[in-house]
């Protein structure tokens, strides 16, 4: 058995696939631990799901193939929350309101703002507090 690993997945559900209990099957058939950040799954509408899955590499790969059989788009590189470094002026207003310190000031002498995407849980709090529109959501 290989070591468990965690991968972030962004799923887009076309209109017709929303009824299928995909997440349940990921847990039951592929032995994955799921941690859902954001979801919008409404019958008769397109939906999305942003989640972390933890399990063996093989199981995650198989699970991704399984999800794709439902005509669900799987984005393994895309971020639901994007921080635009050029739009950011580095004021630091967001930093206080970021619960996981994904937005942070690494060096208090230069006060430049940095974004650690790995730590972002997509609470979207930064989108409202940024005066310069530096943070945007993919959906």
Residues in contact with another protein by CB under 8 A are: 89-97, 105, 108, 110-113, 128-129, 131-133
Residue 1 or 96 having the CB closest to another protein: 96
CB of 80 to another protein, least distance (A): 20
C-alpha–C-alpha distance, residues 25 and 22, integer Å: 5
In the complex, what is the shortest distance from the CB of residue 38 to another protein, in angstroms, rounded to a whole number?
A: 20
Provide the β-strand partners of residue 115: 103
Which uninterrupted H or E stretch holds 113? none
Q: How far is the CB of 72 from another protein (least distance, A)?
A: 31
Nearer to another protein, 63 or 103 (CB): 103
Separation of alpha carbons 41 and 130, rounded Å? 28
Nearest residue (CB) to another protein, 25 versus 105: 105
In the complex, least distance from residue 28 CB atom to another protein, rounded to whole angstroms: 41
Rounded CA-CA distance 98/43 in Å is 32
Q: At CA 84, angle to CA 81 and CA 88, rounded to 5?
A: 120
Closer residue to another protein, CB minimum distance, 70 or 132 = 132
- Are the C-beta atoms of residues 36 and 123 closer than 8 Å to each other? no
């Amino acid at each position: 058995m290989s070591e468990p690993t965690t991968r972030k997945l962004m799923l887009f559900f076309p209109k017709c696939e929303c009824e299928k209990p995909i997440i349940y099957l990921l847990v039951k058939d592929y032995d994955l631990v799921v941690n859902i950040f954001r979801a919008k799954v409404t019958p008769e509408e397109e939906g999305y799901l942003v989640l972390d899955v933890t399990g063996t590499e093989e199981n995650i790969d198989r699970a991704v193939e399984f999800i794709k059989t439902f005509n669900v788009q799987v984005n393994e590189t895309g971020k639901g929350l994007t921080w635009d470094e050029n739009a950011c002026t580095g004021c630091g207003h967001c930093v206080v309101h970021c619960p996981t310190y994904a937005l942070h000031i690494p060096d208090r002498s230069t006060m430049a703002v940095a974004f650690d995407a790995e730590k972002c849980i997509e609470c979207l709090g930064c989108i409202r507090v940024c005066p310069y529109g530096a943070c945007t959501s993919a959906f």
